[in-house]
Amino acid sequence: MNTLPADTHTHTRLCRHAGGDPLDYARAAAARGIPEIACTDHVYFPDDPQPSIRMKQEEFAEYLALVRAAQDANLCTVLLGIEADYQRDLVGEHLPAVLDSAEFDLVLGSLHTGPFWDLAPDDPTATPEFVEQMNRTYYLRMAELARTGLYDVCAHFDIVKRGGIHAPEKLLAEIVPPALDAVAAAGMAIEINTSGYDHGAAEAYPSLQILAWMKERGIPLCFGSDSHDPSQIGRHFEKALALAKAAGHTHRAQFRRRKPTLVPLA
């Protein structure tokens, strides 16, 4: 019997900073005892300023075909997803058009731009004032993301700690709950993204405290490895399952055609 949850966050070679095709991920998942994966490559941008980190528009059809090939191989369940960056200039026309152009099973919403990405605790610019402002801005943006109504799941919800700077608990208690309220109002889920264990943050995204605040609001969770190589499928999932349960979660969201249903955690 499978005890590991679906892995709803993976990337392919098309994003130019990951390796492997959906079929490779499906094979790796089957070997690891993961019954279901979602392919969630980065959405293409119009007039892309950074074509080196995501697929081009003309590659989108190839992406759909690669996912279909993995589905047809019947190694595990393979969902069609996408990781759609929240940027103010994309949410008006571009993202709605892309999200309408295919039958997605789930859409991840995420924030990738900001000084937090590689800001380490020993960086001289990481003053308490700067860290506070960086966190305030980040969670305001996360609430904006939720209010667009475009997304099903918040990806790596507290990745603002990526470089290893953990904001004071008192500050987080002030600024995170409003963002969670926006996520709950949007009917979205939040993933436990296990890539954080391998970053400077050295823990899952989100933290145990945030998982508990999610539980209070009835925000469901799912599990994503954010794999950039098939060998990373389901990384740290045993730990993440224990973390979810420690925060009081008993179910996870399962997605089909952008509709979540709750299934018990094994």
Q: Which is nearer to Zn ion, 52 or 125 (CB)?
A: 52
- Scanning 52-60, 110-118, 165-173, 207-215 for contacts with Zn ion by CB under 5 A, the matching segment is 110-118
- Residue 231's φ and ψ, nearest 5 degrees, are -70, -15
Q: Which is nearer to Zn ion, 74 or 113 (CB)?
A: 113
Q: Which amino acid is at 11?
A: H
Bridge partners of residue 255, in order along the sequence: 260
- The answer to whether residues 109 and 153 touch, using CB atoms and an 8 Å cutoff, is yes
Bridge partners of residue 221, in order along the sequence: 190
Measured torsion, CA atoms of residues 219, 223, 227, 233, in degrees rounded to the nearest 10? -170
- Scanning 52-60, 77-85, 145-153, 235-243 for contacts with Zn ion by CB under 5 A, the matching segment is 77-85
Per CB under 5 A, the list member of 12, 71, 77, 110 interacting with Zn ion is 110
What DSSP string describes 161-175? GTTS-PPPHHHHHHH
- Residue 125's φ and ψ, nearest 5 degrees, are -80, -10
- Residues 215-234 binding Zn ion (CB under 5 A) are 226
- Scanning 18-26, 47-55, 103-111, 247-255 for contacts with Zn ion by CB under 5 A, the matching segment is 103-111
Shortest distance, CB of residue 168 to Zn ion, whole angstroms?
25
Q: Is position 195 an interface residue for Zn ion (rule: CB under 5 A)? A: no
Shortest distance, CB of residue 43 to Zn ion, whole angstroms?
11
Rounded to the nearest angstrom, the gap between the alpha carbon of residue 91 and the centroid of all alpha carbons in its chain is 18
Shortest distance, CB of residue 195 to Zn ion, whole angstroms?
8
Q: How far apart are CA 206 and CA 249, in angstroms?
A: 13
Shortest distance, CB of residue 128 to Zn ion, whole angstroms?
27
Shortest distance, CB of residue 228 to Zn ion, whole angstroms?
8
Shortest distance, CB of residue 136 to Zn ion, whole angstroms?
21
User: Is 24 strand, coil or helix?
Assistant: helix
Peptide bond into 264 cis (omega under 30): no
Q: Which is nearer to Zn ion, 71 or 195 (CB)?
A: 195
Q: Please count the residues of this chain forming the interface with Zn ion, following the rule CB under 5 A.
A: 3
Applying CB under 5 A, the residues found at the interface with Zn ion are: 83, 110, 226
